[in-house]
Structure 1
């Protein structure tokens, strides 16, 4: 991460500083106004009286910014107040960019000391830029903001460094999602995962075509048939000394590096042209493993990412084909654009060998999920118990990567019945996200499991506050928050 986050016990007298003020503030605390002229103090007081939430004062040698924290009352929970401060970080970043601020001190003056971390998170997530491939120096826009220094009695240097590690995981996921196919095919994706592991300390094993064939991973092999490039199956394992869990948590991520839809070809524009993002689930798993290892979280966690592109060339699989999966189940392929569940199914069945505590899978799986909850939420469903589901939902509220649980009632199994195989790979026109989940459920025997359909928020075609445009790294913060509380 090019933007550094650090902690300090105090801030210099002359420094670009943002002060987080308690809700309802009308008079500036002395620490936030010591070097202001009388006219400047009057201006800030007038702005506060007018209910302004972000105020900017240019001291010429330095600048003061004032952010008013929301009151935690009524419908505004502590989690929503934190999200409001992240969004304030987004708004503040526009001023920092305009003012060419290089180092910003964040001084939390609220009674709860709960504002500095989410505000810094919002600024940092907004400041992210995908480096891209531009060669014109004029087109390159190097970020000016280099450092955030958090000053608050209520937080520690360790908390600041933990946030920095999580953000690095998010940025890694964003970078992977934003890379096009010709820069990130299945082999390159696997190499990027291995490189991340070497950097922070998790082990990576990459299964090549020969080993995938030997394992008879029929779903992954079928999707790969139309591609000129071989598939990969990457196993990432983070197992630190002193891990507190006897059985590992297993994360599974869809790694379709580009999805044309295969012979069930997607239309373009507005459908196929953004399908470099179809590996966002695999990117999220990589980001989570990175953050856990970077922050030395004492948990044993395994990541599984089956990867290929889905193309209609050569001997591509066709509607009507019957394939035998790694688990031994047979699947009638009714639509080659319902390919992600085929990769995931092999990986979910493979996960059983680890005797996992819990398996979580992440995938940009269905347009139905995106239509159901939009970019504002993540569809989830699974067989985990109520305690685990509640913990995941609470993590979703804390990170504002909110979960909407869909049912997996027995009746939905009828949606994927096949006349000639055990199941088919696509359901009816209704409940498309659920029938996809019901398909995956058939491959999760023997362990508790939750499926996350991140199709809505994983890749944005227009900027959305601190999530930006393009790959968002969605589910990294959510999953890290959930797992770190399991340690």
Structure 2
């Protein structure tokens, strides 16, 4: 069972509890009635020595004291609390705490939710496929209860719904190909829709061929498994937007590189994560539906694996895309943009308010900014990009904008087709974005390249190891702010 979040008006005595203190706290609040004088003095001494995480062991229960950090912005204070949640989780695990109360004693009263968020995301474990009882996970934290006047039951419930969407995305990204081919991926997204309340339609091979989605079909040629094109829709009756927001996610469930075979190790062996963009779209829809956010959103996920078998497409092929444009294939490992291009052209039928695509698209993006950020580019106006960046700061999934200057169109010129699927040696992330731009018509668009942060080979605080679920919290925050009509600026 995943970790549960709950709300309680009061904090019971002798409960495992964490108290969050303001950065300038010198004395403990008098309402900590079950703290003996000796323990209170110990905490005072630790505060005087500027300790940030203090533990008091009462043997029957534990008390923890977290000191909120002084940072330049509230967003950075919240991020530091998430990281403290990661550190605190290690202590909870060591002492086998299964239920923890969180009480915010800070002046601002905004610390409980980010601390709980950090603990919750750290507590994620991919259940996997272990059968040996010795290898199964031991008893772990099962319940977090937030208390006090500074937080409401509705806020706690919303946070849980959002983080369940992150968990869903992580589970999908961490699943191997033999447990999650394109059909199984689509079925998992449909099951998530049934659970959360959004509608799902799965287009099979026949539908995809009828639509003439040449990019998706070309990439699928080498696979023994058929492709899918999943359409998810969350359209509540009280949706505040007239035109839908459309999210497009790359769904390459495994990428060998095709005939332009990737080297292994350190390249191909991690490619089960190449559908992280599609998984994120499912996670966002799940969170929006679970929390009944009044926004109309459509998710599009074209899915296949990319293999060198059978009648695989080859460098030099020319394919006709759903939009009618022709593409010269210079490298079969530049396949994600082919799937996305068909989906982006398909998105036009919805007359969208805005389209955002999410993809582990280029190693160039990862090399440029590492796992610390997300590369963005697009045709959306400065105000929308600013709003998206602000959402990135609030959830600490920060965005770095790359240009799409006209000169970059030269990078994808072809002698025999409208465009080529590969650019020059330089500016690889941008030439991929420039390729996608050719399929955009009639709507604002932003491309998010998540190749750096989507999958981590070593633990990175609350983001963990493996699939991180990146962009779920970002896009949830952004879309919620859009329909509220209020953009919270730090």
Offset of 1:31 from its aligned partner?
Answer: 2.4
Q: 2:54 aligned with 1:55, yes or no? A: yes
Kindly tell me: are residues 427 and 114 of structure 1, through their superposed partners in 2, closer, same or farther at Cα, counting changes over 3 Å?
Answer: same
Task: Identify the residue that residue 254 of structure 1 maps to in structure 2.
Answer: 250
1:237-276 paired onto structure 2 within 5 Å? 237-276=233-272
Checking the alignment, whether the CA contact within 8 Å between 1:116 and 1:152 is kept in structure 2 is no
1:194-249 per-residue CA deviation (whole Å, 9 max, x = no partner) reads 00011111111100001100000000000000000000000001111111110000
1:303-318 paired onto structure 2 within 5 Å? 303-318=299-314
Offset of 1:39 from its aligned partner?
Answer: 2.1
Hey, what's the Cα distance between the residues in 1 that align with 2:360 and 2:437?
17
Checking the alignment, whether the CA contact within 8 Å between 2:96 and 2:139 is kept in structure 1 is no
Checking the alignment, whether the CA contact within 8 Å between 1:113 and 1:152 is kept in structure 2 is no
Hey, what's the Cα distance between the residues in 2 that align with 1:143 and 1:309?
37
Q: 2:206 aligned with 1:207, yes or no? A: no
Hey, what's the Cα distance between the residues in 2 that align with 1:356 and 1:155?
35
1:384-403 paired onto structure 2 within 5 Å? 384-403=380-399
Hey, what's the Cα distance between the residues in 1 that align with 2:480 and 2:344?
23
Offset of 1:153 from its aligned partner?
Answer: 1.2
1:90-126 per-residue CA deviation (whole Å, 9 max, x = no partner) reads 0000010111111100000001111000000000000
Q: 2:304 aligned with 1:339, yes or no? A: no
Hey, what's the Cα distance between the residues in 2 that align with 1:183 and 1:295?
29
Task: Identify the residue that residue 164 of structure 1 maps to in structure 2.
Answer: 160
Offset of 1:142 from its aligned partner?
Answer: 3.9
Hey, what's the Cα distance between the residues in 2 that align with 1:156 and 1:42?
32
Task: Identify the residue that residue 9 of structure 1 maps to in structure 2.
Answer: 9
Checking the alignment, whether the CA contact within 8 Å between 1:252 and 1:362 is kept in structure 2 is yes
1:135-187 per-residue CA deviation (whole Å, 9 max, x = no partner) reads 10110014421110101312211111000000000000000000000000000
Checking the alignment, whether the CA contact within 8 Å between 1:257 and 1:309 is kept in structure 2 is yes
Aligned CA-pair RMSD = 0.8
1:391-441 per-residue CA deviation (whole Å, 9 max, x = no partner) reads 100000000000000000000000000000000001111110000000000
Q: 2:428 aligned with 1:429, yes or no? A: no
Q: 2:401 aligned with 1:405, yes or no? A: yes
For structure 1, list consecutive stretches of 5 or more residues without a partner in the other structure: none
Hey, what's the Cα distance between the residues in 1 that align with 2:87 and 2:268?
32
Hey, what's the Cα distance between the residues in 1 that align with 2:347 and 2:36?
64
Q: 2:411 aligned with 1:415, yes or no? A: yes
Corresponding residue SS for 1:452: strand
Task: Identify the residue that residue 23 of structure 1 maps to in structure 2.
Answer: 23
1:248-295 per-residue CA deviation (whole Å, 9 max, x = no partner) reads 000000000000000000000000000000000000000000000000
Task: Identify the residue that residue 359 of structure 2 maps to in structure 1.
Answer: 363
Hey, what's the Cα distance between the residues in 1 that align with 2:148 and 2:231?
40
Checking the alignment, whether the CA contact within 8 Å between 1:127 and 1:143 is kept in structure 2 is no
Offset of 1:42 from its aligned partner?
Answer: 1.9
Corresponding residue SS for 2:458: coil
Hey, what's the Cα distance between the residues in 1 that align with 2:284 and 2:405?
30
For structure 2, list consecutive stretches of 5 or more residues without a partner in the other structure: 484-490
Task: Identify the residue that residue 478 of structure 2 maps to in structure 1.
Answer: 482
Offset of 1:61 from its aligned partner?
Answer: 1.5
1:39-438 paired onto structure 2 within 5 Å? 39-72=38-71, 76-438=72-434
Corresponding residue SS for 1:182: helix
Checking the alignment, whether the CA contact within 8 Å between 1:236 and 1:303 is kept in structure 2 is yes
Hey, what's the Cα distance between the residues in 2 that align with 1:329 and 1:448?
20
Hey, what's the Cα distance between the residues in 1 that align with 2:287 and 2:138?
25
Corresponding residue SS for 1:30: coil
Task: Identify the residue that residue 36 of structure 2 maps to in structure 1.
Answer: 37
Hey, what's the Cα distance between the residues in 2 that align with 1:158 and 1:343?
39
Task: Identify the residue that residue 488 of structure 2 maps to in structure 1.
Answer: none
Q: TM-score, normalised by structure 2?
A: 0.98
